[in-house]
Structure 1
Amino acid sequence: MIDALEQAEAAVAACFDAAAWAASEPDLVAALDATHRLEQRLVAVKLTLVRELDGRGTATAQGASCTAVWLRDRLRLGVGAARRLVELAATLDTGPAGVRDALAGGLVDVEQVRVIAETVETVHTAAGPQAADKAVGVLVDWAAQFDAAGLRKLGTRILDHVAPEVAEAATEAAVRAQESRAARDRHVTISEQPDGRLRLTGILDIEAAALLRAAIDPLTAPTGPDDTRTPGQRRHDALADVCRLALSGGDLPESGGDRPQLVVTTTYDVLRQHLTRGTLDTGGQLSADTVRRLACDARILPAVLGGNGLVLDVGRQRRLVTGPLRRALVLRDRGCAFPGCDRPPRWCDAHHIHHWADGGPTSLDNAVLLCGHHHRHLHHSDWVVRLGGDGHPEFIPPAWLDPEQVPRRNHYHRRN
Structure 2
Amino acid sequence: MIDALEQAEAAVAACSDAATWAASEHDLVAALDAAHRLEQRVAAVKLALVREVDGRGTARRQGASCTPVWLRERLRLTIPAARRLVELAATLDNGPAEIRQALADGAISVEQARVIGDTVATVHAAADTSAAGKAVDVLLGWAGQFDATLLRRMGARILDHVAPEVADAAAEAALRAQEARAARDRQVTVSEQSDGRLRLSGILDTEAAAVLRAAIDPLTTPAGPDDTRSPGQRRHDALADICRLALRTGDLPENGGDPTQIVVTTNYDSLTRQLGAGALDTGLHLTPDTVRRPACDATVLPAVLDSSSQPLDLGRQRRLITGPLRRALILRDRGCAFPGCDRPPRWCDAHHIHHWADGGPTTLTNAVLLCGHHHRHLHHTDWNVRITADGHPEFIPPTWLDPTQIPRRNHYHRRT
User: Which band: TM-score by shorter chain?
Assistant: 0.5 to 0.7
The alignment's TM-score, normalised by the length of structure 2, stands at 0.60
- CA–CA distance in structure 2, aligned partners of residues 401 and 61 of structure 1: 32
1:249-289: CA deviation from partner (whole Å, max 9, x where unpaired)? 111211198454132231x4443122331111111111111
Matches of 2:136 and 2:390, distance apart in 1: 67
Which amino acid letter does the alignment assign opposite residue 271 of structure 2?
Answer: L
- Alpha carbons 2:135, 2:162 under 8 Å: kept: no
Q: Which residue of 2 aligns with 1:146?
A: none
**Is the CA contact 1:301–1:314 (under 8 Å) kept in the aligned structure 2?**
no
Aligned residue in 1 for 2:37: 59
The secondary structure found in structure 1 opposite 2:213 is: helix
1:310 aligned residue: 310
Structural mapping, 1:193-272, within 5 Å? 193-255=193-255, 258=259, 260-266=261-267, 268-272=268-272
Instruction: Note closer, same or farther for the CA distance 1:218–1:270 as it changes in structure 2 (3 Å cut).
Output: closer
Percent identity at matched positions? 64
Change (3 A) 1:301 1:115: closer
Hey, what's the Cα distance between the residues in 2 that align with 1:213 and 1:123?
A: 36
Question: For residue 37 of structure 2, what is the amino acid of its counterpart?
Answer: A
CA drift at 1:234: 1.5
2:321 equivalent in structure 1: 321
Describe how 1:354-365 pairs up with structure 2 within 5 A.
354-365=354-365
**Aligned mates of 1:295, 1:255 — CA distance in 2:** 19
Matched to 1:378, the amino acid is L
- The match for 2:189 is 189
Give yes or no for contact 1:71–1:82 (8 Å, CA) kept in 2.
no
- Segments of 5+ residues of structure 1 without an aligned counterpart are 1-49, 73-77, 133-166
Q: Does 1:94 align with 2:95?
A: no
Distance 2:150 2:364 in 1: 63
TM-score norm. by structure 1 comes to 0.60
Q: CA RMSD in A?
A: 4.5
Secondary structure, aligned partner of 2:263: coil
Counterparts of residues 342-361 of structure 1 (less than 5 Å): 342-361=342-361
- Aligned residue for 2:126? none
CA, structure 1 residues 63+404, in 2 after alignment: closer, same or farther (shift >3 Å)? closer
Cα distance in 2 for residues equivalent to 1:112 and 1:387: 52
Retained in 2: the 8 A contact 1:278–1:287?
Answer: yes
Q: Deviations over 1:152-203 (max 9, x none)?
A: xxxxxxxxxxxxxxx5x56654543333232222222222323332222222
- 5+ residue gaps, structure 2, are 1-29, 45-101, 120-133
Q: SS in structure 1 opposite 2:298? A: coil
When residues 115 and 403 of structure 1 are mapped into structure 2, their CA distance, relative to the original with a 3 A threshold, is closer
Tell me the amino acid that sits aligned with residue 386 of structure 2.
R
Aligned residues: 311
Deviation at 1:117, TM superposition (A): 2.0
Q: Please give the alpha-carbon distance, in whole angstroms, between the structure 2 residues aligned to 1:389 and 1:336.
A: 20
Identify if the C-alpha distance between structure 1 residues 59 and 315 changes in structure 2 by more than 3 Å, giving closer, same or farther. same
